[in-house]
């Protein structure tokens, strides 16, 4: 296997690259930032600028597997400019990859694309499976649906296209966990609204293993990339307090205040999605971290 990864300089991409290197897999990655290009025998960086329709075609040389992760962060305020960036960085990049591969008559053994569980509706009761998508009601759902639609267009370039709806990625001091753990460390950890929102999480190591497992097994279709045991948000904050040895005693911050401060983006912390991992488990993947306390102990213990 030889990999090409987009978004390879981000949280998930960096960890997949490290794990692929451990396994002796050679790889290329695409970056929009020339300063992030490095090149050695095992890993080679290539430049692309999707906004200006530029992609260094050499990135495809010898590659048989594509992992497409690129996308602008959703954690910046959702101003009209940032919304455009969030949407286009996913849709335009996916379109560009499929057009380039078609133009170069490249057929990959496997193409794997990121998506997010934000595609699912808000629910406090239902367990959401890969079939639980509905008409979009918020910006996250609009983005993920458009992103997946564009990813499906890559099916002309492979017989094995798979899409992974990723949950909250747990990595030490990075991503959303960094934002949640910082106040806990400062003795001001608290949950939001009722705190009963479901958080469907996945340990970064399991996510990397899942991508590489699915690549080797030639998976097709759409999969939830979440651990088997989602938790309520209040439990997540309490468990963080336990592992960081800090009490979590403050009352929850009312949802109305969060909505006032964050606007539509409040869906990121007020949204509730209890997402099922049954399909990936039934395909033979086993999680190292199924339970939150074990995952947090590994990261912060
Ligand atoms: N982390 C999570 O909890 C989580 C959950 C659900 C879904 N996801 C999705 O999984 C993917 C990877 O997540 P991550 O946490 O690794 O994200 P990340 O750390 O923010 O990295 C994203 C990467 O995308 C590239 N990128 C940013 N803006 C871009 C643009 N305008 N055009 C092209 N590339 C751009 C960047 O690479 P360069 O700067 O090198 O170009 C960056 O390294 C993302 O699409 C994310 O939405 C993540």
Q: How many CB atoms neighbour CB 247 within 10 A?
A: 11
> Which pLDDT score is estimated for 193?
93
Cβ–Cβ < 8 Å for 274, 227? no
Q: What pLDDT is stored for residue 38 in this prediction?
A: 92
Residue of the CA atom closest to atom 30 of ligand 1 = 89
112 and 222 Cβ atoms separated by less than 8 Å: no
CB 85, CB 75: distance < 8 Å: no
∠ CA 236-241-246, nearest 5°, is: 165
pLDDT value at 94 more than 90: yes
| Percent of the chain whose pLDDT exceeds 90 | 92
pLDDT value at position 74?
95
What's the chain's average pLDDT? 96
* Shortest-distance Cα residue to atom 19 of ligand 1: 10
Burial of 109 (0-12, 13-18, 19+ CB in 10 A): middle
Could you report the per-residue pLDDT of 240-256, keeping only the tens digit for each? 999 999 999 899 999 99
| Model pLDDT for residues 106-149, shown as the tens digit of each residue | 999 999 999 999 999 999 999 999 999 989 999 999 999 999 99
For ligand 1, the distance from its centroid to the CA atom of residue 70, given in whole angstroms, is 5
Looking up tokens 């009722």 gives: 194
pLDDT in tens, 73-93: 999 999 999 999 999 999 999
Lining residues, ligand 1, CB within 6 Å? 7, 9-13, 31-33, 36, 50, 69-73, 85, 89, 93, 114, 116, 166, 168-169, 175-176
| Residue 176 pLDDT greater than 90, yes or no | no
Q: How far apart are the first and last CA of the chain?
A: 35
Q: How confident is the model at residue 301 (pLDDT cuts 50, 70, 90)?
A: confident
| The dihedral formed by the CA atoms of 173, 76, 151 and 103, expressed in degrees to the nearest 10 | -110
Pair 157, 102: CB distance under 8 Å = yes
Quick: pLDDT tens for 222-240: 999 999 999 999 999 999 9
Domains annotated for the chain, with CATH where assigned, are: 2-167+204-226+275-287 (3.40.50.720)
Q: Ligand 1, residues 4, 5, 36, 71: which to mutate, most atoms within 8 A of Cβ?
A: 71
Tell me the average pLDDT across 274-286.
98
């Amino acid at each position: 296997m030889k990999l090409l990864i987009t978004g390879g300089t981000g949280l998930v991409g960096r960890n997949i690259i490290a794990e692929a290197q451990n396994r002796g897999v050679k790889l290329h990655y695409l970056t929009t930032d020339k300063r992030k290009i490095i090149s050695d025998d095992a890993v080679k960086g290539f430049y692309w600028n999707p906004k200006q329709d530029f992609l260094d075609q050499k990135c495809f040389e010898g590659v048989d597997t594509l992992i497409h992760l690129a996308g602008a962060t959703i954690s910046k305020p959702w101003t009209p400019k940032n919304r455009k960036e969030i949407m286009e960085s996913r849709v335009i990049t996916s379109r560009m990859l499929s057009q380039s591969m078609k133009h170069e008559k490249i057929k990959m053994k496997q193409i794997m694309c990121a998506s997010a569980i934000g595609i699912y509706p808000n629910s406090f009761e239902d367990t959401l499976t890969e079939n639980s998508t509905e008409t979009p009601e918020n910006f996250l759902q609009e983005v993920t649906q458009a992103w997946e639609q564009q990813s499906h267009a890559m099916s002309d370039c492979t017989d094995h296209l798979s899409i992974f709806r990723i949950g909250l990625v747990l990595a030490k001091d990075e991503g959303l966990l960094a934002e949640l753990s910082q106040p806990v460390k400062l003795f001001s950890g608290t949950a939001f609204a009722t705190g009963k929102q479901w958080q469907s999480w996945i340990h970064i190591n399991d996510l990397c293993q899942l991508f590489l497992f699915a690549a080797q097994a030639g998976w097709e279709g759409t999969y939830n990339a979440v651990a088997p045991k989602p938790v309520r948000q209040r439990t997540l904050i309490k468990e963080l307090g336990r592992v960081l040895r800090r009490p979590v005693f403050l009352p929850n911050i009312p949802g109305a205040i969060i909505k006032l401060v964050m606007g539509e983006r409040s869906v990121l912390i007020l949204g509730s999605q209890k997402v099922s991992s049954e399909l990936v488990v039934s395909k033979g993947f086993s999680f190292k971290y199924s339970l939150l306390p074990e995952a947090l102990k590994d990261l912060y213990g």
